[in-house]
Amino acid sequence: MKSKTSENDAFVTFDRVQKSYDGLSLVVKDLNLSMPRGEFLTMLGPSGSGKTTCLMMLAGFETATHGDIMLDGTSINNIPPHKRGIGMVFQNYALFPHMTVAENLAFPLEVRKIGKSEREAKVKRALEMVQMGDFGGRRPAQLSGGQQQRVALARALVFEAELVLMDEPLGALDKQLREHMQFEIKRIAENLGITVVYVTHDQTEALTMSDRVAVFNDGRIQQLAPPAELYESPQNSFVAQFIGENNTLDGLVKEISNGMALVQLDDGKMINCNPVNVTKAGERTRVSIRPERVEFSKDRMEPGAHTLTAEVLEFIYMGDMFRTRLRVAGNDNFIVKTRNAPNQVQLEPGAHVEIGWLPSDCRALDA
- Beginning with the edge strand found earlier in the chain, give each strand of the sheet holding 321-328 in spatial order: 331-339, 321-328, 308-317, 352-355
DSSP lists the bridge partners of residue 284 as 252
Those residues whose C-beta lies under 8 Å from the C-beta of residue 120, and which sit 6 or more positions away, are: 106
Q: How far is the CB of 215 from another protein (least distance, A)?
A: 26
Cβ–Cβ contacts within 10 Å for residue 243, how many? Answer: 23
Among 37, 139, 201, 327, binds ligand ATP (CB under 6 A): 201
Is 145:123 a contact under the CB 8 Å cutoff?
A: no
- What is the separation of C-alpha 251 from the centre of its chain, rounded to a whole number of angstroms? 29
Task: Look at residue 236 and give its three-state secondary structure.
Answer: coil
| Residue 107 touching another protein (CB under 8 A) | yes
45 binds, among Mg ion, ligand ATP, another protein, none (CB under 5 to 8 A by kind): ligand ATP
Site for another protein in 319-348 (CB under 8 A): none
CB of 51 to Mg ion, least distance (A): 5
Q: Is 102 buried (19+), middle (13-18) or exposed (0-12) by CB count in 10 A?
A: buried
Residue 202 CB, shortest distance to another protein, in Å, is 21
Q: Is 159 in the site for another protein (CB under 8 A)?
A: yes
Q: Is 97 in the site for another protein (CB under 8 A)?
A: yes
Letters for 30-69 (x = contact with ligand ATP by CB under 6 A, - = none) are ---------------x-xxxxxxx----------------
End-to-end CA distance of the chain: 27
Span from 142-150, 151-159, 258-266, 342-350 in contact with another protein (CB under 8 A): 151-159
Binding of residue 151 to another protein (CB under 8 A): no
- Least separation in angstroms between residue 102's CB and another protein is 14
Distances (CA, A) of 296 to 208, 271, 308: 30, 15, 10
Rounded to whole angstroms, the Cα distance separating 113 from 153 reads 21
**142 counts as binding another protein under rule CB under 8 A:** no
Does 87 help bind another protein (rule: CB under 8 A)? yes
Query: Is there a contact between 337 and 248 (Cβ–Cβ < 8 Å)?
Result: no
Q: How far is the CB of 201 from ligand ATP (least distance, A)?
A: 6
Stretch that binds another protein, among 78-86, 125-133, 235-243, 322-330 (CB under 8 A): 78-86
Q: Residue 300: exposed, middle, or buried by beta-carbon count in 10 A (0-12, 13-18, 19+)?
A: exposed
- Residue 96 touching ligand ATP (CB under 6 A): no
Binding site for another protein (CB under 8 A): 59-61, 80-88, 90, 92, 94, 96-98, 107-108, 111-112, 155-156, 159
Binding site for ligand ATP (CB under 6 A): 21, 27, 45, 47-53, 201
